[in-house]
Amino acid sequence: MGRTVPTFRQLIEQAAQRWAKFRRALRREDQEHFDRLFLRVRSYTQAATYQCSDNPMEAILLSIALDQEKRLHAVEQQVWPKETNHATPGMDTRPVPQPAGNDPVADRTEPEAPPAD
C-alpha cells in the first residue's frame, strides 16, 4: 500500500512545477531568487504538515513571508544595534498622512455600529 496523502515536500515540488512557466518568463537573476524561495520553504515543512491545510499554497506563501520577516529582522538588528536609541528600529516614524478629502473610498466616514440589545 502506498501513501494516499502527498507529503508537504511533494506538494512544494508540485507547486514549483505549476509555476514553471512563470519561472521561465523571469530574468535569469530573478530565477535564482525564485528557486531560493522554494528551497527556504522546506525549512517550515513540519509546521505546514501540522497545519494540514486544504490549500498547500497558503502554507507555502506563509512560509515565504515568515522567512522574509526573519531575514529582514536580522538585517535590522545589524543596521540598528540594540545599544542605539531608536524607538522602533526599521519602522517608518513619519506621521500617517491625513485624508485629502477627494477619495470616496478612503475618506468615507465609518458607519456607526447599531446599538447593542
What's the pTM? 0.62
Regions in the chain scoring below 50 on pLDDT: none
Mean pLDDT of the chain: 80
Name the DSSP class of 91: S
107 vs 90: CA distance, rounded Å: 28
pLDDT for res 66: 94
pLDDT for res 64: 94
Residue 89's alpha-carbon distances to 39, 68, 71, in angstroms, are: 29, 17, 14
pLDDT for res 31: 95
Helix, strand or coil, per DSSP, at residue 68: helix
Alpha-helical segments (H) within 44-108: 45-51, 56-79
pLDDT for res 78: 87
Q: Count the alpha carbons within 13 Å of 80 in the hemisphere toward its beta carbon.
A: 11
Helix, strand or coil, per DSSP, at residue 24: helix
